[in-house]
Amino acid sequence: MHKLAKGDLSVDLSRIESRHEIGQSVLALDVFQTNALTVRGRNRQKQMQRQRVVLHRTDCK
């Protein structure tokens, strides 16, 4: 949990299976991890798009 909280999204949560509270917490962490990876990917796409716009603007001058 500490690695995930610090932004290490490479943590493998898929091997932990339990029907106890801990298992339910791991499932919740898996959702957070998946969402964080999605957000990270979208942010990269936005940054790349911004860079393309800046390059296009400088090429047009």
Please compute, for residue 4, the number of CA atoms within 13 A of its CA located in the half-sphere on the CB side.
16
The residues spanned by each domain of the chain are: 2-60
CB contact at 8 A, 13 and 31: no
**Residue 42 has what pLDDT?**
97
pLDDT at 61: 67
The angle at the Cα of 42, spanning 53 to 34, to the nearest 5 degrees, equals 170
Query: Which stretches within the chain are classed as H helix?
Result: 2-5, 21-60
**The two structure tokens encoding residue 34:** 């998946």
pLDDT tens for the chain, 61 residues long, are 788 778 888 888 776 666 677 778 888 888 999 999 999 999 999 999 999 998 888 887 6
* Structural contact between residues 6 and 14, judged by C-beta atoms closer than 8 angstroms: no
